[in-house]
Structure 1
Amino acid sequence: MNNDQTRYFDSTPASQFNLKDWAKIADSLDPATLDQLWTSQALRRLRNSEREADRAAYNRLSRVKQPERLEIFSIVVADRKLKASLRPLVTQDKINVALQQSKDLAKEVRKGKLSKQSLKATRTGGSESPTGITEEQTTHVRYPGSLTPILSTQIPDALSAFNHDSDSIEFFQGSPPPTSSPAVTEDDPQRDTSLSIAGHFALLNQRTRWSNILPRFEEYRQDQNWTLDLSPDGIMDLTLGSRFTATLDDQDLLTILEDQPMLTQKFKELTELDELLGEDCSFEAISERMFNTPLNTPVRRFLYGVVHAYSRYFPWKTVIPALEEKQGMFAILCPFIQGALDVYHIESFMSEIAITASGERKNADKDYGERMEKSRRADMIAVDSEDNQVLLSECSSIYEKDKRKFAEDKWKLGRALKDSWDSTVRKVVQSYHPHQDLATFGIQFFSHRLVFYKMDFRGEHRLWQMDSCDIPLQMSTGFEKKFRASCRNSLCFAHMVAEEICVRGALPFLSMKEKIILGRAAQRIKPTTDSPPFKKAH
């Protein structure tokens, strides 16, 4: 056992123990090494686990003789679709199968006739092998709203509580299994060699394949050592100037750009805004026009609020003074962002609002008798119709110059968006079937720049930068151009958030059976890691 394997056993909680990370152990033909590892490490972790299922697995496996136990270990490690705390080992039928297969395997090992190639075929469950294992029969399950069937062998073992006949599973109502195997598509979990992601994310209707970008991200995550990098948290930073995109070649960059989310530039509210802005968008012209315009539409009220906010400083001043962070948020940022969200009746809140998902992650493993940790706080949030936090914001003062502050805020915002994405999935599956492009949104305000973010999932959580603009702080220098861009981009961003909320409001309901299955799949999403806090240099 090498250092990496030892570190994995010592640092991984039993509830997060994942057998896919140990598939390479099955390449060893030394039975003594495998049995020693199994006895001294895996059984010990099961025995000391706080989970009743793990202790039950230990009670059953500790009574199995050494050759059979060794074969159980080899089969389960090679079966990469079984994961999470060795729970499949508690099933008696798995033990019975292993006992039967181990007899032939032991004979072949003693005779020296078992080659590495035949052992590999045995572990991967392929066609007829010298051990007598035949090709595994799979049943496909058609998930509502998805063109890609899901292998029944990918469904977690909780499904056995409802269907004991694995060859005739009818998981979702009105969705009979197809008669033939479908064509393999880009998002087909059959092409995922480990099935580690497809096991629960495919059940949640999230796409798990994305060209060859995902393997490159895994390599980058292992090599990076920057303090404020988001990759340790499973977040692929695709924003402007990210360290990850700088490592990609031109072809990979083109692949990323094909999926780049864009702000919609054609909808009725934006057309009305352009008409109100007109050709002359100087402060004097837009003030005179808006203060004499009836406020009978949401877009007019939005633009009036922005102009009224600037009228507190202009024209008797030509430059907005150095406001404190919170004052600047309410005086300058709030009219743009909250005003645009109000156009679509999206409820929003300002100033140090607790991030619900952050508290859920920090206190997930705590008993109610323990002291709960405080949630991280956002400078602004917005919620959907089910009170899920769909938008988070991090802000600085309007003349902030410390670039470290920008990097820290982006790091905190990226982690918080992933927490909110995970939390939203867990809440959605309590009633509804998630849609394929579930997303959360973020805003970062640093100095005078406003940056719009989107977090979604495609094999990894992806952080996109959709657009950015400069909030005008001077009446004379570029006010008209910056003012027009800030109003338009804020409204376009609010329109995208409103579209996400609208899609969530039309999701189909789940049956109780489906809620249990998808609820468990949502709980298996790896939480954002508790990375050590960064320390500022004194």
Structure 2
Amino acid sequence: MSLPSDILSEARKVAVVPDINAKWPTLQGISERVFKHNSYDDIARAIKKEDMEDPTAAYMFSVVMAYTLMLIPMFSSHYFDFHSEIPQDLNEREGFTDLTWSFIRGALTMNKIESRHLEVLVTGVQERKNHNKNPFFDTMEVGQYCDGVAFSGKDQVFLAEASQIQNAKADKRHQDQYKLARGLRDSWLSQMKSICREAVPPRDFAVFGSCTYKDESKLLQLDFQGAFRLCQFDSFLIPLEKKEFGRRMNLAVQSCLKLASRIEQQIIMRRLASPASFDKQQQLSDALCKTPVTTATPTKPKKGSVSK
């Protein structure tokens, strides 16, 4: 998951991030008012005073709402109604859906990027597994599923994997990192092939992902410059305690808005790609044929199975 420092510096230049304070002019003012407090209760009171017509305020409110039932009973969780900390026995789906994904999804939505979560099929993996198979004679394989996906049309431009927030197994970190890296590479290849059918792809063509282990979410990008380059460009920590809520939430909001801006910029670059002539399409196709093929991803043990 790491690169040499010189290559890492170059890889991080992909999809240079716009200034989120310039893009969202009210962000700084709302942050100063809301995050002058650190405790959850003070932040909840402060955010409710903001104008919910403002997308930045609405985003922050949705994050705060995920932690308590008292704000909007029909749609909220209720962890902080009964606890001062997130419960230790929270399962993987609860932690990802209620907490981690609320930060990421809200930022994506602010940037008009569609997303889905929980067991979403990764189309690039499915294509790779069935490459050169004849559907009339061969058994078609199902691709892998991931915890969260962001779309641009049919393109899956962002993939997310997550473990339990508390008490995650140590091997889960490595399994998810490996699975995510392979999934991103398959997605990159699938989307590059699709674009090359009609346009010249952007030079800094990239896909993005997040890998959450316990309370930390690492934000990643993958591109290709003679070799596939996977680098971490940011991370954030999920707030778990009422008394230490504000600092983590503030930094998480900033990181997720920057992530969404990177993805949005990549989408815009693709839409502005120049049309490719037939000769150019052939050149691009030949180049893609020389791109290293993704090897098979190790299978995950089935739940309930007993190892011998």
For the aligned pair, the TM-score class normalised by the smaller chain equals 0.7 to 0.9
Distance 1:446 1:537, change over 3 A: farther
1:309/1:332 contact within 8 Å kept: yes
Highest RCO, 1 vs 2 (Cα 8 Å, sep ≥ 6): 2
2:125 — aligned with what? 358
Determine if the alignment matches structure 1 residue 503 to structure 2 residue 254.
Answer: no
Determine if the alignment matches structure 1 residue 266 to structure 2 residue 33.
Answer: no
- Amino-acid identity (%): 27
1:396/1:445 contact within 8 Å kept: yes
TM-score between both structures, scaled by the size of structure 1: 0.51
Matches within 5 A, 1:320-339: 320-321=86-87, 322-339=89-106
2:60 — aligned with what? 303
2:179/2:297 contact within 8 Å kept: no
Q: Which protein is richer in strand relative to its size?
A: 2
Q: 1:291 aligns with which of 41, 48, 54?
A: 48
Q: Aligned partners of 1:505 and 1:429: how far apart in 2?
A: 13
Q: Aligned partners of 2:277 and 2:198: how far apart in 1?
A: 8
Q: Aligned partners of 1:316 and 1:397: how far apart in 2?
A: 20
The amino acid across from 2:67 in the alignment is Y
Q: Aligned partners of 2:103 and 2:297: how far apart in 1?
A: 33
1:521 — aligned with what? 287
Determine if the alignment matches structure 1 residue 387 to structure 2 residue 154.
Answer: yes
Q: Aligned partners of 1:450 and 1:277: how far apart in 2?
A: 21
| Alpha-carbon distance, 1:325 to partner | 1.1
Q: 1:280 aligns with which of 36, 39, 45?
A: 36
Q: Aligned partners of 2:24 and 2:224: how far apart in 1?
A: 28
Q: Aligned partners of 2:17 and 2:123: how far apart in 1?
A: 29
Q: Aligned partners of 2:290 and 2:37: how far apart in 1?
A: 52
Unaligned runs of at least 5 residues, structure 2:
69-77
Matches within 5 A, 1:114-263: 237-238=1-2, 245=4, 253=5, 255-261=6-12
Deviations 1:45-99, CA, capped at 9 Å, x for gaps: xxxxxxxxxxxxxxxxxxxxxxxxxxxxxxxxxxxxxxxxxxxxxxxxxxxxxxx
| Alpha-carbon distance, 1:368 to partner | 1.4
Over 4 Å off, 4+ runs: 531-538
What SS is found at the alignment partner of 1:452? strand
Unaligned runs of at least 5 residues, structure 1:
1-236, 240-244, 246-252
1:270/1:488 contact within 8 Å kept: no
| Alpha-carbon distance, 1:526 to partner | 2.8
Higher deviation after alignment, 308-317 or 366-375:
308-317
Q: Aligned partners of 1:319 and 1:258: how far apart in 2?
A: 38
Q: 2:143 aligns with which of 352, 375, 396?
A: 375
Matches within 5 A, 1:467-486: 467-476=234-243, 478-486=244-252
| Alpha-carbon distance, 1:260 to partner | 4.7
1:298/1:342 contact within 8 Å kept: no
2:182/2:297 contact within 8 Å kept: no
Distance 1:316 1:528, change over 3 A: same
| Alpha-carbon distance, 1:429 to partner | 0.7
Q: Aligned partners of 2:299 and 2:164: how far apart in 1?
A: 22
| Alpha-carbon distance, 1:346 to partner | 0.4
1:131 — aligned with what? none
Higher deviation after alignment, 285-294 or 523-532:
523-532
1:461 — aligned with what? 228
Q: Point out the structure with max Rg over C-alpha.
A: 1
The amino acid across from 1:463 in the alignment is L
Q: Aligned partners of 2:145 and 2:250: how far apart in 1?
A: 31
2:193 — aligned with what? 426
The amino acid across from 2:53 in the alignment is N
1:391/1:442 contact within 8 Å kept: yes
| Alpha-carbon distance, 1:275 to partner | 1.9
| Alpha-carbon distance, 1:270 to partner | 5.3
2:222/2:229 contact within 8 Å kept: yes
| Alpha-carbon distance, 1:330 to partner | 1.5
Determine if the alignment matches structure 1 residue 346 to structure 2 residue 113.
Answer: yes
What SS is found at the alignment partner of 1:310? coil
Q: Aligned partners of 1:324 and 1:401: how far apart in 2?
A: 9
The amino acid across from 1:494 in the alignment is A
2:8/2:231 contact within 8 Å kept: no
TM-score between both structures, scaled by the size of structure 2: 0.86
| Alpha-carbon distance, 1:418 to partner | 0.5
2:43/2:246 contact within 8 Å kept: no
Q: Which protein is richer in helix relative to its size?
A: 1
Distance 1:293 1:351, change over 3 A: same
